[in-house]
Amino acid sequence: MKSVFFPILFLIVTLSLPAESKDVAKKKKEPVSSSSNYFVKKDEKNFSLVLEARRFGRGEAVFFRLTPKNKKWINESFKAFWMGKEIFLTKQGDSFISFFGISPDTAPGPMTLEIQSKILFVKRGTKQYQIILEPTKFQVIKKQSIVVDNKFVVKELPKETLDFIKECKEAKEAAFGKISGLQFSDQFRNPLESIYITSKFYVRRDYNNKIGRPHGGVDFRGKIGTPIFAIQDGTVVLARKMYYEGNFTILDHGNKIFSFYMHQDEIGVKVGDKVKKGQEIGKVGTTGMSTGPHLHLGAKIADTLIDPLSLIALSEITEPK
Ligand SMILES: [Zn+2]
């Protein structure tokens, strides 16, 4: 039960506004939602702000909704920055919504969200909020030695293999470099019908007695041939065989939000296809650098690797009635 350890999460207004006081983020209590996520809700004079995250911790996705009190203001210019980097704002009804990621490598301490608007903040044109990062310890598996085919660990690879690896990397970078408008308007879903997680996000594993890099996604158990579903509406930006990832698909969901699916037995889509959430896009396999049949699901927001389960957990995406 995660409710036992209630996180210390403060939202502090950093401007010198004397009336503001510290707010503690509260778990949503409304019975309509079964979500155990954390919410930051600010009701300001000119607007309301909602932030939702499974936890405000490293490797987590955050959902943002800003609603100006005057409906006409939706057509004014708004900008928002997370840790100094501009985030994409998309109009949804009378609000602006956005998604951003807390990098798994974020240092402890306060994280800054800045909103820029001449209409909301007439004097200064900007306002900053600070959110204290909740501590997260990613698992390190030291004793388990995974036997991987030696072709993935030997240092000197033949030139044609190195060329193929380089070409794969470039194709991946080009796919993740795509920018499109937001392609969805409701919650994400799981990639398989039956969910059993065999390896969590950012676990460090031991490959042939060498500590490997952090695990960049989540592994789901699945037999070869198990259907894989798109976790959200999107566009296929990569669908091909790769050296490490095996049969690999990347979906672009817009605003630099991507989901990706590794080690597939078969790919069921091609580049340029528009897919719907829940549509079958491939089958579970064990191609590429894989120790047995499973699906590795990854997710990125604006080049920040996040736990895909934190994206799937977001419950507030749908436009409020
Ligand atoms: Zn994996």
Q: For residue 219, report the distance from its CA to the centre of ligand 1, in Å.
A: 5
Task: Parse the chain into domains and list their residue ranges.
Answer: 2-132, 140-312
For tokens 């794969």, what's the residue? 168
Give me ligand 1 centre to Cα 279, in Å: 22
Q: pLDDT tens for residues 218-255?
A: 999 999 999 999 999 999 999 999 999 999 999 999 99
DSSP state of 31: T
167 alpha carbon – ligand 1 mean position (Å): 21
What distances in angstroms separate CA 1 from CA 5, 38, 199, 224, one per listed residue? 8, 14, 20, 33
Positive or negative torsion for Cα 247, 244, 311, 184: negative
Tell me the pLDDT band of 8, cut-offs 50, 70 and 90. Answer: very low
Lowest mean pLDDT among 67-81, 141-155, 236-250, 306-320: 141-155
Q: 220 CA distance to ligand 1 centroid (A)?
A: 8
Lowest mean pLDDT among 118-122, 133-137, 162-166, 170-174: 133-137
Q: Which stretch of DSSP H or E encloses residue 308?
A: helix 308-312
Kindly state the average pLDDT of the residues 172-182.
97
Rounded-to-integer distance, Cα 82 and Cα 61, Å: 12
CATH topology of domain 140-312: Glucose Permease (Domain IIA) (2.70.70)
Spacing, Cα 317 to ligand 1 middle (Å): 27
Residue 23 — pLDDT band, cuts 50, 70, 90?
Answer: very low
Please compute the mean of the pLDDT values over residues 45-61 and round it to a whole number: 96
Q: Round to whole Å and give the CA distance between 54 and 43.
A: 21
How is 136-203 classified by DSSP, letter by letter?
----EEEEEEE---GGGT-S---HHHHHHHHHHHHHHHHHHT--------S----SSSS--EEE-TT-
Assigned CATH for 2-132:
2.60.40
Whether the predicted pLDDT of 33 surpasses 50: no
| 216 CA to centre of ligand 1 in angstroms | 7
Tell how far the Cα of 245 is from the centroid of ligand 1, in angstroms: 9
Rounded to the nearest angstrom, the distance between the alpha carbon of 122 and the centre of ligand 1 is: 48
Name the pLDDT band for 148 (thresholds 50, 70, 90).
Answer: low
Give the range among 28-42, 78-92, 251-265 with minimum mean pLDDT: 28-42
The reported pLDDT for the residue numbered 204 is: 87
Q: 136: exposed, middle or buried (C-beta count within 10 Å: 0-12, 13-18, 19+)? A: middle
How far away, in angstroms, is 286 Cα from ligand 1 center?
Answer: 11
Tell me what pLDDT residue 185 has: 94
